Structure 1
C-alpha cells in the first residue's frame, strides 16, 4: 500500500498542472440488466456515488492517480478494480456483478451472491424486474445445485423444481407441470428447439416459469403448465479454464471443458467455449447414449451504447430408444394388471440391442444486438436459426392380451429435418409519466418451423405388420435378431412416406409494469399472433392436409404489493395461454385437425426474498381452466381426440436458503388437482392421463465445513417423492398407474480454489420405478454412482 501512495505523489508532482477528471461507467447484471442503487466508491477517498435506474454512474473531479474502485450492493458480491486516472483523459468503465464474480482475478471481497431468481425474472418478463416484483411464479435451479448433485443431463436438474416431473421418455423428454405436458424448447428466453435434449455443459441455471405464458412466449414452444428456460453461460472479462471428468456406473464417461478469455486488452471482446464429450450405457442389457457438444460464445462491446453477442451450439448425438412399453390397449383392461409391478416384464431387459439407434444432430445459432437508444430506452434484436435432424430406427413395444406377447414396433426415419428461424425485436423503456415509473417492453417477432421428412414403419398400423412378437414368459430365440439389416429386410416392398410442412407465426406484444406507489405495482400485457400453417404435404400424392390460418390474442394482468420493501410481497395474476394445435398424424395414417385450445389462469401467493440467499420462498395457489382439451382416446390409447374441458388447480411451495455459512437448503412441494369436465362419460370427473402425479416433493440439503483443517469438504443428501401417476384412467379400460415412489440421492465433495472432487449416488436404495406418459411406461434408472474431478486454471 505504501508504494501506491509514493507512486501517487510522484505522478501528481510531475503531472502539474493537475486537471481533475471524470469517471463514468455502467453496472449491469450477468443478463445485461442495468443495476440500480449499486454503490461506487474509490477506496480511502471521499469519492462515492450510486448507479441510477439505467445502471450508469459518474464520479466527477477525480484527481489523477491510481485508485481502487469498489462496486457493491446488498445481496451482491462486491468487486474491486485498480484504475489509473490520467490528467486530461476521462475514464469509462463497464462492470458486471454476477454469481461468478468470485472467480475474477481482481476480486478481494466476498459476500453473499446475488439473487438467482432476479436474473430468471428478467428473462421471464423481458424487463429489469426483480422476482419480488414479478406477479408470476418462477422456480430456479442454481448452478451450485447442478454442480453438487453431479447432474449429467436435463432430468438431473429438473428434479429440483417443485411439481415438474419427467413423463414420456423420448429423445427429448416430456415433462408435466401443473397437470400439463411441457418440453425444454426455450433458451435465454427465445427459441431453443432441438430434437434431443441439449447437453447441459452450457447451462448456468434452469428456470421454470409456471402457468400459461402465451403473452411473451406465444404458443409454439410452451405449454399451459409453464416454460422451461435454460439460461446459458456467458463470457466473462477474465481468463479461466476448467476441465472436468466424470466416471461412473454403466460405463459413464463424461469430459467437459470451459474456456473463457478476453480477446482484447480493454476487455471489449470476450470469448467463452463450453464443450462436452459424453458416453453412458444402461442398467439394462442394452442401451447407450454417445454425444459430442461444442458451444462457443462471443461478446463484443463496440462502444458505450452498442454490443453484439453470438452463441453457437453444435450437438452430435446417437443412442438407442428408451424402452417405451404400451401396457394396455382397446377394450377392457385386458392385461389384468393395474401397475407395472404386476406385469411379466424383466426390468433389466431392453428387448432390443445396441445396433438399433437414432442419430439426432443439431446446430443452433443465436445472435443478439443490444443498443442503448437513450437514458430511458434500449433496443434488443435476437436472431435465431436452428437445424435439427432425427434419422434412424425408433423402437416401441406393445404388451398384448395374455400378458406374455410383447410386440416390437419400429418407426424408421431415413431423413427427418426441422429448421427453426426466429427474428425478435424488443424495445425496452424505463421512464416516468406523472411521477409514476413505467417499465415497458414492446416487441415484434417472426417464427418459422419448417420440416421435411420421410418415414416408414413396422408398427401393426394401417395394414402394416409389426417387426415381431416375443414371448416374455418363455424362451425368446429371436430376441437378438432385430437389427438395421433385419428391419430393412422386412420393410422391403413398403414404400416410405415423404412429406414436408411449414408454420409461420407473426406476433406483436407489449408488457408494462406500472409502479402505482413504492409498494404497489401492476403489470398489463397483451400479445397478438397470426398463425399461417401451410399444412403437411405428401410429396408422393401432392395432397396437403392440416393447412389453416388463425389469429389469437393473449392478455395478462398482474398485481404486486410489497408488505416489506424488497423483502416480502403479495402477488396475483390473471394469465391467458393458447395453443394452436397442429394437425396430428394418427397411427392409422389419417391426419386429424383440431381447434385451438385456450387456458385461463388465476394465481396468487406470497414471495419472500431476504438479503442475498438467506431465504427465498414462494407459496402460490393457481386455478387453470382449459377449453377444447386434447386427450388420449379411451378405446385407442395411441390416438388423440379433442373433447371437453379441463381444470387444473393446486398449491406449490418453493424454498431456497443459505441460512448460515456453508449450509444450503432447497425444498419444494406441489399438489395438483386436475379433472376433465364436459367430456365423454368414460372420463368426465377423472384425472386426465399425462397430468403427472397429484403430489410431488423435492428436498436437498448440503453443508460445507468451514473449519480450516477441512475447509471445502461437504456432504449433501436429498430426495424426491412422487404419488400415483395414471397412464390409463377411464371407466371402460379401467386404470393403469405408476406406483408412488421415493428416490434418494447423496453427495460428498471437496472443493478448493484450483480443483473440486465429488462423489454422487443417485437412486440410493436401488428402487425399481417407472416414468410414463402417452399410454407408455419406461423403466427408470437404478442406483448409479458418479465420481467427478474438476481442475481450474
Structure 2
C-alpha cells in the first residue's frame, strides 16, 4: 500500500517540477568577452560553449544542486556551486584568469585577453599589453570578420584606418601611411604567398603601423607598416562548424572548422580549417576557383615543453584582374585626368575565362616552446613556404589620342619561390636593481630562392603586343584571345630563364624597462647582413644585381600610463630599411648605394576602458625616407642616391561596446606625403602609389541581448576614400582616381547551434577604381551574400 502512496506523491510533485534555464556571461580579467569557453555541470550531460560575445545558455536543467565548471585553453578553470530551484532561472557573471604559467612560458604565446593585447604580443615579440606598447596596432576582431561576412582580405582590411587597396593583382598591394605593403606575415613570421590566401583560417588581422625593421627585417615589410594575419589555434574542447555562403556573381563557398582533443588528458589538440571557393565577376568574364586546407596540431609534452605544427595548403586558379595603364607618352595623357573620362566599359573585362593563372602554395610552420626557468623561456620557429605562378597574365595599355586598347600577355610556364626561415627567440622577465625588465633576444636566418621562366607579348624589347581592341567599335577580335592563340604568337620567341637567391642573417634585442609602475621605456636594435646572389639569366648567361649589405635598425619608445591599465601616453622612434642593389651607369661604371632608411617619430594616446567601454588610439606620426634613388637632373640617364620622401599624418582608431549588444568600430586617417631632393618633375608633389590622403571607416551593429529574439542583430558600415594619384608629375600631368564612398549592411541571427547572416556590399552600386604603379582596376559592384553556419 505504501509504495502506491509514494508513487502518487512522486507523480503529484513531478507535475510541479519545471526545468530551468542557466544563462551567463564569461569575461577575461580585463572584461573582454571570451569565446569558446566550455560550460558544463559536473557529472551530468549538461554542457555548452560561450558565443563570441561571451554569453552562454544551458536549457532544461532539472532542479537540484550542481557544480558548474567553466574552462578553456589559456585560462584557469572556475567552479561554482549552484542551486537550481523550480520556477527560478539563474544568471551568472564569471571572470576567468589567464594561466600564469602559460603566459610566462613563452612571451610570444597568445593570451586570450583583449584582442589588441594578443596583437601586441606579435608586434613586440614579448608578453606586452597594448596599453604598454609604444607602437600603434590596429586590429580587426573575429566578431567583425564574422558579422561582415568577409570572404577575402579586402573585406577584412577595410576596418583598419588609413589602409586602402592599391595595385590589384592576384596578391594586392595596400597603402599605409603613404607606402605600399602586402600581407606577407603570419603569426609574426614569414607567411609569403603569391596570391592572397583564403581567410578561412584567420582569427584576427592586425596592422602594426610604421617602419618595423627592428623586429621584422626588410624582406617582407613596408615603411608604412606590417600586415599580420593571426590564425586559428587548436582548442581543448570538441567543436565543429560548417558554413555555406552563396550570393551574387555565382558565389558558392563552403568552409569547415573542426577541432578536437586527441587524448583524454587533452595534451594533444587538433584543428583543421578548410574552404572551397567559387566566384564569378560583375564583368562579362572573370572568376576565382580555390581549395584551401589548414591543419594544426598542438602537443603539450610537459609543463615546460610544447610543440605546434601548422600547414596551409592552397590551390587557386583564376583570371587576372583588369590592370589598365591609362596613357601613352606625352602631357595630360589622353586629355583625361580620371577614369570617368576614359572610353572604357566598366562591365567589360576585355578578356575571357580561358586566360588564367594558377597560384598553388604550400606552407609549413613548426614551433617549439620551452620554459628554461621562472624568468626565461625559449621559442624556436621553423618556416618553409613554396609558391608558384603558372599560366597567362593579361594587362592593358590605353593609347593616347584614340580608343585603342592594347592587350599584353605575360606567360609563366614555371615560376617558383621557396622561402626558408629559422628564428630563435629567448625571452626574459626579471628585475635588476628592483626594476622590471622584459627582454627578447633573437637570431634569424631567412632565404628566398626563386626561379622562373617567362615569355611575353608586351610591346617591349622589339616584341609585339598580343593585339589591339577598338573600345568604341565592334571589336571583332574581342573573343579571339585564348591559350592556343597566345602560344601561337609566342612561337619562335625565346623565353627568359632566370634564378635569384636572397639570404639574410639577423640578430636583434628588445627590452622594456619598467622605470616605475606607470612609466616604461623600450630600447631595441637589429643588425642585418643581407646577401643578394643576383639574378642569373640562363638565356644570356649573365648575372646582375648581386651585392652584400649590412644594416642597423634601432627602435626606442616611451609609455606613461596616466591611469594604470586604462589610459597611456606614448611616443616612439622606429626605423625600417630596404637594401639597394648597385646600378650600372650609362658610362659603364657601377654605383653602389647605401640601404634606404625610414625613420619615424610618433606620439599619441591609448585608452582601454574596462569592459570594452572604449578602446582607442590617437596618434601623430612623421616619417622621413632617406637614401632614396632618383634621376640625376644634370645627367638624366644616371642614377644618384639623394631623394627624400616625407610622410606625416594623424590616425584615429576607435572600438567600443558601450552597452550590452552594441558594437562600434570607427577610424579616420590623414596622410600628407611629398618628395623633396628628387627629380624636378616630382619635387614637392605627392608621390604616386601613396594612396588616398584621407580615409574613413565606420561599422556599427546591435544584437538583441535578452529576449525571445536573442541573437538577432543588424549592422551598417561605410568606407570613404579621397582622391588617389596614379600619375603626378610636371611632364605627364596628373591622373587620379576619384574619391568614393562604399556602404555595407548586415542582418544576422546567431544561436548556439546555428547562425544565419545576410550581407550587402557596395549598397549604392558605386563605380570606383583601385590603382597603383601606373595602372587602374575597376572595383566590385553591389554584392549580396547569404551565410548559413551549423555548429556541433
Say whether the fold is shared (TM-score over 0.5).
Answer: yes
Name the TM tier (shorter chain): 0.7 to 0.9
2:692 aligns with 693
Q: Aligned runs of 1:340-489 on 2, under 5 Å?
A: 340-489=339-488
Compared CA separation, residues 755 and 494, structure 1 to 2 (3 A): same
Aligned residues: 699
How far the C-alpha of 1:627 sits from its partner, in A, is 1.3
1:647 aligns with 646
| Residues 1:738 and 2:743 aligned together | no
2:60 aligns with none
Q: Aligned runs of 1:152-171 on 2, under 5 Å?
A: 152-171=151-170
Residues 276, 290 of structure 2: 8 Å contact kept: yes
Compared CA separation, residues 765 and 575, structure 1 to 2 (3 A): same
User: 1:234 and 1:660 mapped to 2: Cα distance?
Assistant: 29
Q: Deviations 1:608-661 (Å, cap 9, x if unpaired)? A: 001132210000000000013368999xxxx99976110000000000000000
3-state SS of 1:323 partner: coil
3-state SS of 2:484 partner: helix
Q: Aligned runs of 1:672-711 on 2, under 5 Å?
A: 672-711=671-710
User: 2:609 and 2:225 mapped to 1: Cα distance?
Assistant: 26
Q: Deviations 1:448-479 (Å, cap 9, x if unpaired)? A: 00001000000001110000000001110000
Compared CA separation, residues 347 and 584, structure 1 to 2 (3 A): farther
User: 2:430 and 2:467 mapped to 1: Cα distance?
Assistant: 68
User: 1:201 and 1:431 mapped to 2: Cα distance?
Assistant: 39
2:507 aligns with 508
3-state SS of 1:335 partner: helix
Structure 2 unmatched ranges of 5 or more: 1-27, 30-41, 43-65, 82-95, 100-111
User: 1:653 and 1:134 mapped to 2: Cα distance?
Assistant: 16
Compared CA separation, residues 132 and 299, structure 1 to 2 (3 A): same
Structure 1 unmatched ranges of 5 or more: 1-28, 31-42, 44-65, 84-94, 99-112
User: 1:758 and 1:123 mapped to 2: Cα distance?
Assistant: 31
How far the C-alpha of 1:596 sits from its partner, in A, is 2.2
How far the C-alpha of 1:329 sits from its partner, in A, is 3.2
2:78 aligns with 80
| Residues 1:721 and 2:717 aligned together | no
3-state SS of 1:571 partner: strand
1:602 aligns with 601
Compared CA separation, residues 775 and 594, structure 1 to 2 (3 A): farther
1:173 aligns with 172
Residues 547, 581 of structure 2: 8 Å contact kept: no
TM-score norm. by structure 2 comes to: 0.85
3-state SS of 2:159 partner: coil
User: 1:738 and 1:640 mapped to 2: Cα distance?
Assistant: 30
Compared CA separation, residues 593 and 761, structure 1 to 2 (3 A): farther
Residues 238, 261 of structure 2: 8 Å contact kept: yes
| Residues 1:660 and 2:664 aligned together | no
Q: Deviations 1:515-554 (Å, cap 9, x if unpaired)? A: 0000000000000000011000011232100000000000
Q: Which moved more, 1:399-408 or 1:362-371?
A: 399-408
3-state SS of 2:333 partner: coil
Residues 440, 509 of structure 2: 8 Å contact kept: yes
Q: Deviations 1:264-313 (Å, cap 9, x if unpaired)? A: 10000000000000011000000001000000000000001000000000
How far the C-alpha of 1:220 sits from its partner, in A, is 0.3
Taking only aligned residues, the RMSD between alpha carbons, in angstroms, comes to: 2.7
1:256 aligns with 255
How far the C-alpha of 1:581 sits from its partner, in A, is 3.8
User: 2:780 and 2:499 mapped to 1: Cα distance?
Assistant: 36
2:107 aligns with none
Compared CA separation, residues 209 and 298, structure 1 to 2 (3 A): same
Compared CA separation, residues 68 and 788, structure 1 to 2 (3 A): closer
Q: Which moved more, 1:648-657 or 1:702-711?
A: 702-711
User: 1:592 and 1:69 mapped to 2: Cα distance?
Assistant: 69
2:779 aligns with 780
How far the C-alpha of 1:252 sits from its partner, in A, is 0.5
How far the C-alpha of 1:710 sits from its partner, in A, is 1.1
3-state SS of 1:629 partner: strand
1:526 aligns with 525
User: 1:504 and 1:680 mapped to 2: Cα distance?
Assistant: 32
Residues 326, 333 of structure 2: 8 Å contact kept: no
1:21 aligns with none
User: 2:732 and 2:463 mapped to 1: Cα distance?
Assistant: 25
Residues 236, 270 of structure 1: 8 Å contact kept: yes
User: 2:520 and 2:98 mapped to 1: Cα distance?
Assistant: 26
User: 1:477 and 1:583 mapped to 2: Cα distance?
Assistant: 47
TM-score norm. by structure 1 comes to: 0.85
Compared CA separation, residues 584 and 408, structure 1 to 2 (3 A): farther
Residues 546, 592 of structure 1: 8 Å contact kept: no
1:231 aligns with 230
2:579 aligns with 580
Residues 631, 688 of structure 1: 8 Å contact kept: no
1:56 aligns with none
Compared CA separation, residues 595 and 468, structure 1 to 2 (3 A): farther
Q: Aligned runs of 1:481-500 on 2, under 5 Å?
A: 481-500=480-499
How far the C-alpha of 1:708 sits from its partner, in A, is 1.4
How far the C-alpha of 1:169 sits from its partner, in A, is 0.3
